[in-house]
Amino acid sequence: MSTPPEGLPVYRVLTGPDGAAFCHRVSEVLGLGYQLHEGPALTFDGENVIIAQAVIWPAQP
């Protein structure tokens, strides 16, 4: 497949509190065919660790 499914963008940034729900969201997009782009970014909002993970749709040769 040369484009992401369901009209999704080629580049996405997933964000949210660190936990199982965030891991499931990342796993879901990896299952669709996206690839991780670099490592995650983490911050602390005073209460929770917040993660941002970029994913990209692989370029087709």
41 strand-pairing partners: 52
- Nearest alpha-carbon partner for 34 in 15, 13, 20, 18: 13
CA distances in angstroms from 4 to 30, 34, 41, 45, 46, listed in the order given: 11, 8, 24, 32, 36
* Confidence grade of residue 9 (pLDDT, cut at 50, 70, 90): very high
Q: What is the pTM of this model?
A: 0.88
Q: Is the pLDDT of residue 22 over 80?
A: yes
Element (H, E) at 27: helix 20-32
Token pair 């997009």: residue: 29
- Residue 28's identity, in one-letter code, is E
* pLDDT for residue 59: 83
| Domain regions of the chain by residue span | 5-56
DSSP summary character for residue 5: G
